[in-house]
A and B are shown apart, each in its own frame.
Chain A
Amino acid sequence: MSHLQFKLSLFWSAVISLIVTYLFLEYGVPYATMLITGREQWMPVPRTAMAMFMILAVVGAMVYVSTSDEKIEEFREPVLAFLRGDQDGRWSTWAKWARVVCLAAFPFLLGGFVYFQTRLTAASPTTLRIQHPTIPGAYEKLKNPLRNPDGTVKNVKFVEEGGVLYQKNCRPCHGTTAAGDGPMGWGFRLKPVSFRDPGTIATLVEAYLFWRIKEGAAGLPPEASPWDSAMPAWKEELSDEEIWKIILAEFDTAGVEPRKPEKLE
């Protein structure tokens, strides 16, 4: 096997490593994230994180290259050779032309870069949004009256009745199986929450859900961008008991348990 190996010069190893790092961040990580989270879309690495990782990679490469004078020299040699050009008449025609093309293209690439950077463009405003704002005091202490003190449901009928209410009123957006994938989510940029996601209702006490269902988008504080949420304020149409039933059904449909309120004694 060893006779097949050839030594890549330090310069090209550095260049290839940086390219591989970039491709990994640009495609590998989003793809892996998609597989891990089970979502359908790639989850791109944020540009700022990307810039940070790339800077780290470049610094890493520079540190490695500068560990010894030989390495510095080995790294610098192809660059200098490229700049010097063919002084001894040993280059192939192809290499000579490649050098000329690269040298000629560089100023224009630079010019293009400056043009695209200084040209005025508008990007859509991205705002940070708090997904779980603090529950108002009036709701904080509420308990689901349809559950026994040990957390079990008083009557299975409540779950079934809640299921009907859920499928009629909530399913269009939150989905048949509460995966946040109902057909009405299609037009909304703020996607309906998936209750199967372990980061949503499984981390919340039932009083929180009661608040969210009752007050809807209109009850959200500004940091949770209420202007973009399509969540209805169900207090206008559903009774408190119906809302508690829906909450039972949500956990049942999604196959998760509510968080137990902390005991402060």
Chain B
Amino acid sequence: MMIAALVIALLFEMSVAAFGQQKPQATAEAVSKGKEIYMKRCWFCHGLDGKGDGPVADYLNPRPRDFTSGMYKLRTTKDAEAPLDEDLFRTVTRGMPGTAMQGFEGVLRERERWQVIDYIKTFDKERFASPPEKAEIGSEMRGSVEKGKEVYQKTKCWECHGREGRGDGTSAAKLKDEWGLPILPADLTKGWQYKGGNSVTDIFTRFTTSMDGTPMPSFADTLGVKERWDLAAYVKSLIREPQARGEPVLRSKRIDKDLPLNPDDPSWREAEPLDVPLSGQVVVAPRSQNHSVDLITVRSLYNDKSIAFLLEWNDRFKDAVHRPEPESHKDTYVKLDPKRRWGLRDAVEVQFPVGIPEGPARPYFFLGEPGKPVNLWRWSADWNEDPSRKTSAEELNATGSKNPIVPQPPESQEVLSKGMWKDGLWRVVMVRPLHTNDQGRDIQFEVGKMIPLAFHAWDGWKGEHGLQMAISSWQFLVLEVPTPPIVYAYALFSVLVGFGAEVLLVRWARARSSLREVILIEPAGTSE
């Protein structure tokens, strides 16, 4: 009984914490407490006057919300209405994934979060003068993914979000926000970037209410309730969660045929994928925290002569022209110029140490260091489109981010490469012989050894070039060792031994039981 009571009490507590947000009254005291919190936690981005122009704002994309505009992306109210206090509370609590807005749960107490909301609302009092009208969301309905797909087609969601949902639609490049700045449609396959959360109800809410300041409209009037739940189910089904981050080991599978240079080759299905997360390059200036590529899926195959890698990552646009302009960066982070359009290419790079390390020490994970060089295989989209080139990849060496990255001479260039872009997905294959004559400059692959490797990516559309890029930590590559025949012999031998032992045991048990019966028949008192 006690336990049951405890469990019920606990569940009640949890449900109150989750749903029962009872907002305290917005008193003058609450507003002034809220201002104190705002001045400690929020103004750096949102500005002293709530205009979204704090000292950090120019480094962020999306930019921090301008509270004087009264526009809020995440609401549960009807189109063009102000948000509910509960909507703001949810955003302050959970943050906005995919942006610099982090959740304050666990740092600000519930009451403090309400207080800061009371203060934020004072930046646009008119907007919050009358209570907003709530949108009809109701409880979650089970939608049909197939029907939702039809709605996605019919409603032309693909015009912005793309045919496969990767945010690569035909009009994606031209979208502007309320302030005339370019804005990108969400990549619906990346569940970790859904600003308002990725539950089916969250998704349903977004296209029911619209998202203020963005081109995302409300479909409350154009689509029926059932249709919207179907669409929500379909959008949810597009989400591809990255593999659980267990061991960061890429297992290269041995095949006894030619390695495929074509990303579409069925042989790739045999290789086990590794999802590699990438961050913005924040190690040396010019740092960038608005990187585009945050996940690369890698596969590898090898045969007796060569090794091949298939790299796949989402990129809304195919950028194959490269016209870099000279630039000077004096800041610690790159200041954004949202209006600027770039003529820069997409590129990807695999990084290896020049030799397989013995012991734990490795070159520095980002471009190595003086005395500990790394070997880079760089594929670039402009080379990929250039028929006069034999390959779209180049081998280079780096000795730290301060030193120039040096391409290897033509006779040392041995990486063959081919890239394909379709529906917002780049797929690039790179192939190189296992061993080369460039000892000290090239990694030499050995079966069964742990070989560090890391990945770099550039999205030209976002202005990424040079050190402005996305980078990964060291991962590990291992060329799978074919199982030697002796292992099978051991296994077979164990089966036989196991069977033999069983036969002996059963015999022994039976012999014992007859012995026991004999003992039992004997009169008591024989044992001491």
A161-191 vs B, Cβ < 8 Å mask (1 yes, 0 no): 0011001110111011101011111111110
Contacting residue for A184 out of B279, B450, B483, CB 8 A:
B279
CB contacts (< 8 Å) of A124 on chain B: these are 247-249, 450, 476
How far in angstroms is the closest Cβ of chain A from B285? 6
Question: When the two chains form their complex, are residues B363 and A227 in contact, meaning their CB atoms are under 8 A apart?
Answer: yes
Question: When the two chains form their complex, are residues A232 and B282 in contact, meaning their CB atoms are under 8 A apart?
Answer: yes
Question: When the two chains form their complex, are residues A175 and B102 in contact, meaning their CB atoms are under 8 A apart?
Answer: yes
Interface residues of B (CB under 8 A from A): 40-41, 44-45, 55-56, 59, 98-100, 102, 104, 106-107, 247-249, 251, 277-280, 282-285, 287, 289, 294, 332-333, 360-366, 369, 448-450, 470-474, 476, 478, 481, 483-484, 487-488, 490-499, 502, 505-506, 508-510, 512-513
CB contacts (< 8 Å) of B287 on chain A: these are 172, 232
A184 vs B492: C-alpha distance when bound (angstroms): 51
Please indicate which of the listed interface residues A196, A218, A226, A230 has the most CB atoms of chain B within 10 Å of its own CB: A230
The 5 closest A-B pairs by CB, nearest first: A187-B279, A107-B498, A83-B509, A111-B495, A167-B44
A145 vs B328: C-alpha distance when bound (angstroms): 33
CB contacts (< 8 Å) of B499 on chain A: these are 107
Question: When the two chains form their complex, are residues B248 and A189 in contact, meaning their CB atoms are under 8 A apart?
Answer: yes
A181 vs B107: C-alpha distance when bound (angstroms): 12
CB contacts (< 8 Å) of A169 on chain B: these are 332-333
A115 vs B498: C-alpha distance when bound (angstroms): 14
How far in angstroms is the closest Cβ of chain A from B73? 17
CB contacts (< 8 Å) of B104 on chain A: these are 176-177
22 A–B contacts, CB within 8 A, in A order: A80-B509, A83-B508, A107-B496, A107-B499, A124-B476, A163-B44, A164-B55, A167-B44, A177-B107, A181-B102, A184-B280, A186-B278, A187-B278, A187-B471, A189-B248, A190-B473, A196-B107, A218-B364, A228-B473, A232-B282, A232-B287, A236-B285
Question: When the two chains form their complex, are residues B473 and A110 in contact, meaning their CB atoms are under 8 A apart?
Answer: no
Question: When the two chains form their complex, are residues A183 and B490 in contact, meaning their CB atoms are under 8 A apart?
Answer: no
How far in angstroms is the closest Cβ of chain A from B330? 9
Number of A-B contacts (CB under 8 A): 178
The answer to whether A114 has its CB under 8 Å from any CB of chain B is: yes
Please indicate which of the listed interface residues A107, A176, A218 has the most CB atoms of chain B within 10 Å of its own CB: A176
A244-260 vs B, Cβ < 8 Å mask (1 yes, 0 no): 00000000100000000
A147 vs B78: C-alpha distance when bound (angstroms): 52
Name 6 extra pairs, CB < 8 A, besides A113-B494, A187-B472, A232-B283: A108-B498, A119-B483, A124-B450, A167-B56, A185-B279, A227-B474
CB contacts (< 8 Å) of A252 on chain B: these are 40
How far in angstroms is the closest Cβ of chain B from A108? 6
With both beta carbons as reference points, the residue of chain B lying nearest to A120 in the complex is identified as B481
Question: When the two chains form their complex, are residues B498 and A112 in contact, meaning their CB atoms are under 8 A apart?
Answer: no
CB contacts (< 8 Å) of A46 on chain B: these are none
A128-155 vs B, Cβ < 8 Å mask (1 yes, 0 no): 0000000000000000000000000000
How far in angstroms is the closest Cβ of chain B from A216? 8
How far in angstroms is the closest Cβ of chain A from B97? 9
With both beta carbons as reference points, the residue of chain A lying nearest to B505 in the complex is identified as A83
A43 vs B492: C-alpha distance when bound (angstroms): 37
The answer to whether A84 has its CB under 8 Å from any CB of chain B is: yes
Question: When the two chains form their complex, are residues B364 and A183 in contact, meaning their CB atoms are under 8 A apart?
Answer: no
CB contacts (< 8 Å) of A226 on chain B: these are 364
A221-235 vs B, Cβ < 8 Å mask (1 yes, 0 no): 010011110101000
CB contacts (< 8 Å) of A225 on chain B: these are 360
A92-136 vs B, Cβ < 8 Å mask (1 yes, 0 no): 000000000001001111111111001110111101000000000
A225 vs B362: C-alpha distance when bound (angstroms): 9
